């Protein structure tokens, strides 16, 4: 990995714009997969880009691992309940 502070110095507020663009590119690859046109190499590339920019978002917005874990646990618990109830959409 590389030094996030250097990335932030170079990109400034564009960090979030680039993050949105990369997440949209992952979304596009997932849509292609749903249409039966999966390109595994492209999907892996966009998935990796998404993971990178998720770290950028975390650091840019000063999100802590503890805060993220809280919400992951909360959302997973909610999803599990909905799946068990048959109301997950």
pLDDT (0 to 100) of residue 4: 66
What string of pLDDT tens digits covers the 89 residues of the chain?
567 677 767 777 788 999 999 999 999 999 999 999 999 999 999 999 999 999 999 988 899 999 999 999 999 999 999 999 999 98
Instruction: Give the range of the structural domain holding residue 44, as residue numbers without chain letter.
Output: 4-63
DSSP the chain: ---HHHHHHHHTTHHHHHHHHHHHHHHHHHHHHHTT---HHHHHHHHHHHHHHHHHHHHHTT--HHHHHHHHHHHHHHHHHHHHHT---
Question: Which pLDDT score, from 0 to 100, does residue 89 have?
Answer: 85
Rounded-to-integer distance, Cα 34 and Cα 43, Å: 12
Tell me how far CA of residue 19 lies from CA of 7, 41, 55, in angstroms. 12, 20, 10
- Domain assignment present for 11: yes
How far is the C-alpha of 41 from the C-alpha of 72, rounded, in Å? 28
Residue 81 is predicted with a pLDDT of 96
Count: domains in the chain: 1
Question: What pLDDT is attached to residue 5?
Answer: 73
Specify if 30 maps to a domain.
yes
* 8 Å CB contact between 29 and 39: yes
């Amino acid at each position: 990995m590389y030094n996030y502070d250097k990335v932030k110095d170079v990109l400034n507020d564009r960090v979030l714009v680039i993050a949105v663009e990369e997440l949209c590119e992952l979304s596009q690859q997932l849509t292609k997969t749903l249409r039966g046109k999966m390109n595994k190499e492209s999907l892996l590339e966009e998935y990796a880009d998404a993971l990178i920019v998720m770290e950028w978002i975390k650091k840019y917005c000063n999100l802590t691992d503890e805060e993220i874990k809280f919400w992951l646990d909360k959302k997973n618990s909610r999803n599990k309940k909905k799946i068990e109830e048959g109301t997950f959409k």
